Structure 1
């Protein structure tokens, strides 16, 4: 119901007092708000406007979690065994390497935490304030006592405040009071503010607009005193993280079982149980893919951080991985496809027509003064809606110097827009008249209904609406009525309205939208427009935006009449839905989801929240969206730009593709490590790899996965292929086949290097150590070749962006320098059980590494060709 308060409508009701402007003294004292310098001083004094909440892991907790990782526990156990067998120097140096690798892991996870910290700050509620006499949108945590805050429907109240202005304002305070009905609010005109003139932190504006002065922030607010906390970004467990944990647990269980068998077999056959345990622990370290959880956390966290730099805030980390699978984008027209900068382009009545482009420099015809006058009166004086702002600007320009602007009139009550009536009316009192004057505006068909028009006149108006809509204008009808009784009726229909005319507003399509929609089409993503506008307007905008308009438009009325089965039959071809209500958007999202689509949905209003929640990826508008919509969404477009949404899809595909490339590398790198840990033992050879060797390799694998692969750009053709299947797994057959082919080939080469070196070694003493040395050198250099090959499966080996190339260059140089130090420093060389190789043997090792790189490239080419033919 449109009623503003609990009492009857009219002068004696609540609606009369709560809509009065505040006294001039109150207005002037707060009109400009605080200055930035004073606000900064108060923020320093009082602290940020935020409540105690669960924050991300502290540095000490993060360090403790890194130290308790299975890999490091295994390394500590190996160090203990070295101590038991009397190799104290080896044990100490091994533990020194442990701290180096722990430092790398800590740095990686801390980097991910910092990225999430930045996202939490971005996703905090926003507030529209007056600072230095200008409106500014700031993070709610920056509010201070004394700030002047503007409130509108859908906002979450960011701090406790006294209301100095309220227009039909109602606030849901159930969070604090448990009351299910919103509380009507009025301005505090003098003296201490009562609860009806206060707004409390954390409550929700459900109707109207208002303005208040902040009285308490953070823990000193009503919400803070009862210990509640606001929700921010949570570090959520994503489906692929769950899949990865499952894979890691399964591999670890199998690996530990095999390690036990290997330790027993070694001890039983050779009578050396301590070295048998050491062999078993080495095998366990070799097979445990402990870097995978770190990779996932870092990739998703940094992916969200990179999106934030593109003006797309990821409030839900799982949305990052799902973006790449998006098949349908359901988008609003206004502000998403269009610029949301409306201007009054045309005014039409049955007596005259005004067109801005054709009438530039001409005065508005007298016959249209009443139409624009009542369009202004039917809008809020302090407009938040772009249409109302455009109408107000047109009034100030075209009615300047006339008697048709009424700053002295008093607003008595209003009838808000509702689902049943797509029109709103505002009731005014003129100082020189007893009768109330009612101004109404809304959808032309709703205004026609309010005016109880005869069929011929209604048909004439409908024809004019279609004509204006075909020109891409958003059309509003305007009507006027007078009412003499004290008590106002309950419904707008009870007024005797007189039709005044039509207002056509233009909202141009954003310049980059056609290109973005063409990119979606190339990527196999369907774009569907859902709008409350007239069908002809929707078709005109769709045509300009590059959407297909071949199929018939489905209107909200038609949609309501369709069964679920009939709707499913119509979804295949329809790309435009007009005159739809928020609950119908929810039905459409569910209908697309029932077809197996992965649905992205944009919205900005309170009533859009259910559809945003139901979509696979809810997308809220950051600039014009309500706080409720932002909190319900997985993504927030900070600039309300459709092109940013396409950028988000591109990043989603990049994250998933880079994750798969990284996993191919991990599989390929672990195959030879596992093989070299177990095969020499089975063949009766001395242990080839020991814990310190695997630890050294961790210095390469972890940074390569988390730095080089994460920074890889998207493949050039990635936005020209259909979306991946929603059920596609990260660890599928393609990933395993690529990794196993590369790894098995490398393992065969390394065994050949080991056997060949043992064969050509000059002395029995140096044979084992020299073979181990050259095999390890080839393994390390081949790992660098593996990184280079797997950076991209669609580009040449030397391609990539500057950031990724730079990261790889640093890792390659650091690895070669570390390897050189191991070979050159006798104390470290003894720890690794290495012998000093000749220059000729080092050149041979380099040649073998080159063969490994050629093998990797052949595997990439061969599998790519085979997969391309299959696809």
Structure 2
């Protein structure tokens, strides 16, 4: 970081920093409360499943069944441990994201400019802020250069206020935004002592709205819980009517309530979202809130800038057009004395310490071509920041001898409009601009002016400018960008290019990058004159939008949303803030993005690579698909558990209590990790990025998908109950019948979890998708099953008996028929829908 700052500004020393922190604390407002390990555990113990287990444990103690009561207590520990593990993983992922989301602040310390985490700002620090940066502490300006600030977050007024160390109001405040120039301020207040802290305004206090998927899942879980309460009452009443035993009736009812309650679903949702965001973070994609991962997969339109997103943002100066000579000069001729004035004023119209790639190039060309470097001899005395439609900027410099330089550059149309050229002369230049623009060049006009006195015009356009010529840059498309856009189009996502550059240049670069339908571009001024109907039609039909400004960008995003599109908006500047905020997914660039863009965005791409957004969209689709798989698995496996517990009781079969709470909780302990840990780890299916995006309004399970899960559940129920009747008909005991039913259900559960890895590809094809957790959980389940069947202590406890090899084979055969018919369904589906657009 390089800044031309006065030599006397040194900042705090290490010892002064330590003293300040000890006295005033850190720069944090009241942080949102974070649950401790103990609070998380208490929260888990309040979950319905845990409360049911506690109730059952108490009933077993009353009955004197101490072994069962102990098992229930162990189950409580196991369920709590699984939940705590999931919550801890989610918490760690979200904490890591929060640390990455904290902005850096630039300060002077020990005479050096350093970037530090914002919470480390200390009272007395000298903070440096510049255009596009958020101010993160209250303080007094000690040095500035054409500095203006937007204080709307405190005052509600949207206009900018110019401030300096000499102005009456020389204070800056946390939460406000630097609009132009640069300022160094001495920190006076931090954290909750700032004006913003005292008002109590904190982003962390804003409650995040539940996403559509969250709301749908909450509704589903509540519905299932209500059904569980009704069935609990029915079973209790029915059992008590027949037996007159209240305790046994309560046990039967609680067993069924446990089998109905889908407590795995909310846990799975939280885990999938948090871990999804964490995995994206490792890819260089920082997610501001984990629920945005879900929305990513639904993206239907990507609105992208041109410079630095589609292009390399290298800004090589390829040509110079000198107006007086009416000649275009190539790179090899930049040393020609005829170009001296044009190069001179192009450099002076740039920032003294450039950060824009074009301005850096102009400074470099100036240094290489000018015999005498005058930059240290002149000081900037006034600046007109980049503004206007199209935009331009003007800088005024002066030396000790009062010699003055007034230089302007900007969009060629803006410079021509402010120049003294006749309309005929302007048209001649416009022809040159058009010819160069069609080749994909980025063009800036350059002009000079003169002015006596210090009563400068309010508007830069009021100067009388002499047009000097054009600087012609070439910013080539990024390597591999054509493949990126091919992936986007294959995924059924539309692309809109929204840029401040001119039409000809944008169309040329967009076509080179592989963007479809680049003809018929629309400029920002036209957009603002359209009726709503015209605007909706334009955003549907057109791809390229040029000479865009904040209001026009916002109008485009809002129109696309009205059309029902899910919009991802890419932006990096202060002017992109409104559109980034309005889009469903605001995407800021980590390297070249301003702080205000990053603050407004929901997602930050750390290396400015558009391909990362495709990775994010793919991740969103993977997570959504895996949540659906997990939920469909839960529905399908809960149905046989519910019916196996209830039907023998309602139908008066010989062994009405084939399952007790002990068996149900074992099944729950198997299902929990399968749905929330194993399915979360499933990779993206091959066709997922060849499908059209799902609609945001779609429910997470449509009736067809729900029907498939119900049929799967009923088929497994039929198999399990067939195993029951088959064993009974052979005159076997209750223990043997229970062992056959229990084993058949465990085998069915394992096969179902494998079959449901894909609802399109075969089970054998799914094995090619590497998921170590599937193998681990399946193996552990089988080991536990065999321990229950063949270790005497557990056999007695679970009230089963061992099974012979033929009986095991029969149980597996029944389970295979009950589950693997679904492979035939998938085969038919593949035959009917072999194409890429599989929905």
Structure 2 length-normalised TM: 0.92
SS in structure 2 at match of 1:521: helix
- Of 42, 50, 54, the residue aligned with 2:32 is 54
Indicate how the Cα distance of structure 1 residues 211 and 347 shifts in structure 2: closer, same or farther if over 3 A, else same. farther
1:397 match: 368
1:152 match: 130
Cα RMSD (Å): 3.1
Indicate how the Cα distance of structure 1 residues 276 and 359 shifts in structure 2: closer, same or farther if over 3 A, else same. same
Indicate how the Cα distance of structure 1 residues 562 and 303 shifts in structure 2: closer, same or farther if over 3 A, else same. same
> Distance in 2 between the 1:40 and 1:649 partners?
45
Is contact 1:348–1:503 with CA below 8 Å preserved after alignment? yes
Residue 83 of structure 1 pairs with residue 53 of structure 2: no
2:591 match: 623
SS in structure 1 at match of 2:495: strand
Residue 835 of structure 1 pairs with residue 801 of structure 2: yes
CA drift at 1:546: 0.5
CA drift at 1:398: 2.8
> Distance in 2 between the 1:395 and 1:521 partners?
43
> Distance in 2 between the 1:34 and 1:729 partners?
58
> Distance in 1 between the 2:331 and 2:158 partners?
53
5+ long unaligned stretches in structure 2: none
CA drift at 1:699: 1.6
Is contact 1:152–1:205 with CA below 8 Å preserved after alignment? yes
Q: String of CA shifts for 1:408-445, please: whole Å, max 9, x gaps.
A: 212111122223561111112122235x4211111111
CA drift at 1:375: 1.4
> Distance in 2 between the 1:503 and 1:44 partners?
54
CA drift at 1:726: 2.3
> Distance in 1 between the 2:13 and 2:472 partners?
39
CA drift at 1:223: 5.0
CA drift at 1:530: 0.7
SS in structure 2 at match of 1:333: coil
Is contact 2:719–2:815 with CA below 8 Å preserved after alignment? no
Indicate how the Cα distance of structure 1 residues 43 and 353 shifts in structure 2: closer, same or farther if over 3 A, else same. farther
SS in structure 2 at match of 1:374: helix
2:468 match: 500
> Distance in 2 between the 1:442 and 1:95 partners?
74
Q: String of CA shifts for 1:781-817, please: whole Å, max 9, x gaps.
A: 2211111111122333245699952111110122122
CA drift at 1:828: 3.1
Q: String of CA shifts for 1:348-393, please: whole Å, max 9, x gaps.
A: 112458989x544x65111111111111111111223232222222
Q: String of CA shifts for 1:180-239, please: whole Å, max 9, x gaps.
A: 765433258xxxxx9855544333212222345666654576655776545489665221
- Of 739, 746, 759, the residue aligned with 2:729 is 759
2:77 match: 99
Indicate how the Cα distance of structure 1 residues 219 and 512 shifts in structure 2: closer, same or farther if over 3 A, else same. farther
1:307 match: 280
1:323 match: 296
Count of residue pairs the alignment pairs up = 833
Indicate how the Cα distance of structure 1 residues 312 and 441 shifts in structure 2: closer, same or farther if over 3 A, else same. same
Indicate how the Cα distance of structure 1 residues 538 and 61 shifts in structure 2: closer, same or farther if over 3 A, else same. same
CA drift at 1:586: 1.0
Task: Tell me which moved more, 179-188 or 521-530.
Answer: 179-188
- Of 780, 800, 807, the residue aligned with 1:814 is 780
CA drift at 1:690: 1.4
- Of 551, 573, 576, the residue aligned with 1:583 is 551
> Distance in 2 between the 1:601 and 1:533 partners?
17
- Of 771, 787, 791, the residue aligned with 1:805 is 771
> Distance in 1 between the 2:114 and 2:512 partners?
33
SS in structure 1 at match of 2:763: coil
Q: String of CA shifts for 1:682-701, please: whole Å, max 9, x gaps.
A: 12232112111111112221
Is contact 2:683–2:769 with CA below 8 Å preserved after alignment? no
- Of 676, 679, 684, the residue aligned with 1:714 is 684
Residue 704 of structure 1 pairs with residue 670 of structure 2: no
Is contact 1:234–1:316 with CA below 8 Å preserved after alignment? no
Residue 240 of structure 1 pairs with residue 213 of structure 2: yes
Residue 415 of structure 1 pairs with residue 384 of structure 2: yes
Indicate how the Cα distance of structure 1 residues 626 and 800 shifts in structure 2: closer, same or farther if over 3 A, else same. farther
- Of 573, 582, 598, the residue aligned with 1:605 is 573
- Of 507, 511, 514, the residue aligned with 1:546 is 514
Is contact 1:238–1:317 with CA below 8 Å preserved after alignment? no
1:11 match: none
CA drift at 1:662: 1.1
Task: Tell me which moved more, 343-352 or 695-704.
Answer: 343-352
CA drift at 1:175: 5.0
Mapping of 1:239-258 within 5 angstroms?
239-258=212-231
> Distance in 2 between the 1:448 and 1:570 partners?
29
1:515 match: 483
- Of 259, 262, 269, the residue aligned with 2:242 is 269
Task: Tell me which moved more, 650-659 or 831-840.
Answer: 831-840
CA drift at 1:482: 1.1
> Distance in 2 between the 1:246 and 1:584 partners?
39
Residue 73 of structure 1 pairs with residue 22 of structure 2: no
> Distance in 1 between the 2:298 and 2:675 partners?
23
- Of 172, 175, 194, the residue aligned with 1:202 is 175
Indicate how the Cα distance of structure 1 residues 82 and 301 shifts in structure 2: closer, same or farther if over 3 A, else same. same
Indicate how the Cα distance of structure 1 residues 98 and 863 shifts in structure 2: closer, same or farther if over 3 A, else same. farther
- Of 110, 114, 123, the residue aligned with 2:88 is 110
Q: String of CA shifts for 1:100-130, please: whole Å, max 9, x gaps.
A: 1111011112211211111111112233467
CA drift at 1:281: 1.1
> Distance in 2 between the 1:396 and 1:222 partners?
46
> Distance in 2 between the 1:733 and 1:827 partners?
45
CA drift at 1:584: 0.6
- Of 382, 398, 403, the residue aligned with 2:353 is 382
Mapping of 1:642-721 within 5 angstroms?
642-685=610-653, 686-721=656-691
Mapping of 1:555-594 within 5 angstroms?
555-594=523-562
Residue 451 of structure 1 pairs with residue 419 of structure 2: yes
CA drift at 1:818: 2.0
Task: Tell me which moved more, 647-656 or 853-862.
Answer: 853-862
> Distance in 2 between the 1:289 and 1:731 partners?
15
Task: Tell me which moved more, 330-339 or 120-129.
Answer: 120-129
1:6 match: none
- Of 733, 736, 751, the residue aligned with 2:706 is 736
Indicate how the Cα distance of structure 1 residues 40 and 732 shifts in structure 2: closer, same or farther if over 3 A, else same. farther
CA drift at 1:639: 1.9
Indicate how the Cα distance of structure 1 residues 135 and 372 shifts in structure 2: closer, same or farther if over 3 A, else same. farther
Is contact 1:34–1:146 with CA below 8 Å preserved after alignment? no
> Distance in 2 between the 1:85 and 1:443 partners?
87
1:372 match: 343
Indicate how the Cα distance of structure 1 residues 798 and 584 shifts in structure 2: closer, same or farther if over 3 A, else same. same
> Distance in 2 between the 1:173 and 1:406 partners?
34
Indicate how the Cα distance of structure 1 residues 431 and 134 shifts in structure 2: closer, same or farther if over 3 A, else same. same
2:439 match: 471
Task: Tell me which moved more, 663-672 or 208-217.
Answer: 208-217
Structure 1 length-normalised TM: 0.89
CA drift at 1:449: 1.2
1:24 match: 7
Is contact 1:741–1:859 with CA below 8 Å preserved after alignment? no
Indicate how the Cα distance of structure 1 residues 347 and 149 shifts in structure 2: closer, same or farther if over 3 A, else same. farther
> Distance in 2 between the 1:137 and 1:468 partners?
41
CA drift at 1:45: 11
